[in-house]
Amino acid sequence: MDNYEAFKDQVYKLTKIDLSSYKEKQMRRRIDSLVKKNKCTSYDDYVKLLKTDKNVFDEFVNFLTINVSEFYRNPEQWDLLVNEFVPELVKKFGDNLNIWSAACSTGDEPYSLVMALSKHIDLRKIKIHATDIDKQVIATAKVGLYSEKSIANVPDEYKKKFFTKVGNSYQISDEIKRCVDFKEHNLLSDAYPKNCDMIVCRNVLIYFTDEAKDDIYKKFAASLKTGGILFIGSTEQVSGYKDMGYKRRYSFFYEKEQ
Ligand X SMILES: C[S@@+](CC[C@H](N)C(=O)[O-])C[C@H]1O[C@@H](n2cnc3c(N)ncnc32)[C@H](O)[C@@H]1O
Instruction: For residue 79, give the 3-state DSSP assignment.
Output: helix
Which residues neighbour 79 within 8 Å (Cβ) at sequence distance 6 or greater?
Answer: none
Q: Which is nearer to ligand X, 33 or 234 (CB)?
A: 234
- Positions 202 through 241 that interact with ligand X (CB under 6 A): 202-204, 233
The answer to the question of residue 1 lying near ligand X (CB under 6 A) is: no
User: CB-wise, 134 or 255, nearer to ligand X?
Assistant: 134
Query: What residue type is 257 in one-letter code?
Result: E
CA distance 73 to 60: 25
The reply to whether 103 sits near ligand X by the rule CB under 6 A is: yes
Q: What's the closest the beta carbon of residue 153 comes to ligand X, in angstroms?
A: 11
Q: Which is nearer to ligand X, 8 or 73 (CB)?
A: 73
Q: Does 186 bind ligand X (CB under 6 A)?
A: yes
Which C-beta is closer to ligand X: that of 40 or that of 205? 205
Asked if 43 and 35 touch (Cβ cutoff 8 Å), the reply is yes
For residues 40 and 71, which CB has a smaller minimum distance to ligand X in the complex? 71
User: Does 188 contact ligand X by CB under 6 A?
Assistant: yes
The verdict on 187 binding ligand X (CB under 6 A) reads yes
* 67 interacts with ligand X by CB under 6 A: yes
109 contributes a contact to ligand X by CB under 6 A: yes
Where would I find the H helices in the chain?
4-15, 24-37, 43-52, 54-64, 75-80, 86-93, 108-117, 135-143, 156-162, 174-177, 210-223
Using DSSP's 3-state secondary structure scheme, residue 129 falls into strand
Look at residues 112, 178, 119 and name the one whose alpha carbon lies nearest to residue 146.
112
Footprint of ligand X (CB under 6 A)? 65-69, 73, 103-105, 108-109, 132-134, 137, 185-188, 202-204, 233
